[in-house]
Structure 1
């Protein structure tokens, strides 16, 4: 059995004169990322690996979850291919995960993440919000074989306010 945790990056700030890839989080994003990560750590087992987009806003968000779940540095990585908005690269990463891993968290971007949680999960989510967490469980033994799984948990900032 495989479990995929998907997290959309926290709310980013548009007030800085930087390229999209370097946009930081805004105050609300920092608060929501901390709130969701600290809540979910008490509700779900820790991921064995976290893979984040290397965009500033996603990496900062991923670090909140890394710290909350106490994931070691060796089990945390970035992948530029998660800086993907269509979902094709994200799906390649998911399907290519090491089968020794049972629980993996990926942190990235919309529209890809909303599309993928709806494609892989069995619960329709209109829009995966910033700092949104979704866990999907699959019966398959190999990541390359996953199709539709069961959405076992969603946690959005609005659920906690």
Structure 2
């Protein structure tokens, strides 16, 4: 046996929303389940070389959640429609196309396809647990495989283990997968970054504020830092999504602040970002928030987070100093 196949069924989906099956989202429980499986893989040094997922909402989000916990780039996940509502033949074809260089492949999909594929590779019926479920939601099957996947036959694999997220610790190790401290969310959730977007208009600086997701407060873009990106790159990604703005993020932080969430303290690094492109209103996905360019003084008055007020003031001084040198 030279290669390994990891089969992960999507997490628990949310049936409360009236949407078509393909677009059905995950429940929070499903997201946490995917993350627990990711931590388990990391702790056992079983990170995949190649990840392929059904593009159905509940599957691709499961794949992303699991991959991020392992510190891998979620944007490299391959989405393959054949995995959705798949027969064994379809799944075998997807595996046949996996690169030979990938020694450990993670496939994220659905039942009954994953269970049928597991039994096909094992070459026999697999005794069911007491609850009658071989691969329930957020469950990982680990299968030893031959080197050549071009023409897989029944019995070519060996089922090594089945791991259910429900059997794993409900909390997550912090600050890394070897730690004893446990928190409510994966470690990377507590490491965040933010930008204060600005521009020069008619020779004067302006700060871009957006409303919070529930439109209660004025804020600047902020979010959980993606594990595979720098803090600056992650903050720029948040700026594009939350404020519809692109620009150059400064290399030096304006400062940091902390706040309590998910049962612990989150740390936020804040960077300046000189805007060079504003996404048109009709193309900005989060336009329901609203956004506004303001003078630094007005921005300081409106911004909710008190720790950001001196940072906006500091940024305004930096801009003025830069202007005076020209």
Q: What's the TM-score, normalizing by structure 2? A: 0.46
1:37-69 superposed Cα distances (whole Å, 9 cap, x missing partner): 212221142111111100000011001221122
Deviation (angstroms), 1:159? 2.2
**For the residues of structure 2 that align with 1:11 and 1:125, how far apart are their CA atoms?**
23
Is residue 153 of structure 2 the alignment partner of residue 150 of structure 1? Answer: no
User: What is residue 186 of structure 2 aligned with on the other side?
Assistant: none
* Max Rg structure: 2
Is residue 63 of structure 2 the alignment partner of residue 62 of structure 1? Answer: yes
CA contact (8 A) 2:122 2:159 kept: yes
**For the residues of structure 2 that align with 1:3 and 1:154, how far apart are their CA atoms?**
14
**RMSD over equivalenced CA pairs, Å:** 1.9
Structure 1: gaps (5+ residues): none
SS at match of 1:41: helix
**For the residues of structure 1 that align with 2:90 and 2:152, how far apart are their CA atoms?**
16
SS at match of 1:144: coil
136, 140, 149: which one pairs with 1:133? 140
Give the structure with the higher percent strand. Answer: 2
SS at match of 1:66: helix
Deviation (angstroms), 1:135? 1.1
User: What is residue 159 of structure 1 aligned with on the other side?
Assistant: 167
**For the residues of structure 2 that align with 1:37 and 1:125, how far apart are their CA atoms?**
26
**For the residues of structure 1 that align with 2:115 and 2:152, how far apart are their CA atoms?**
17
1:79-116 superposed Cα distances (whole Å, 9 cap, x missing partner): 11111243321121012222121111000000000111
Structure 2: gaps (5+ residues): 129-133, 170-326
Which structure is higher in RCO with an 8 Å CA cutoff and minimum separation 6?
1
User: Runs ≥4 in structure 1, deviation > 3 angstroms?
Assistant: none
CA contact (8 A) 1:134 1:154 kept: yes
CA contact (8 A) 2:9 2:139 kept: yes
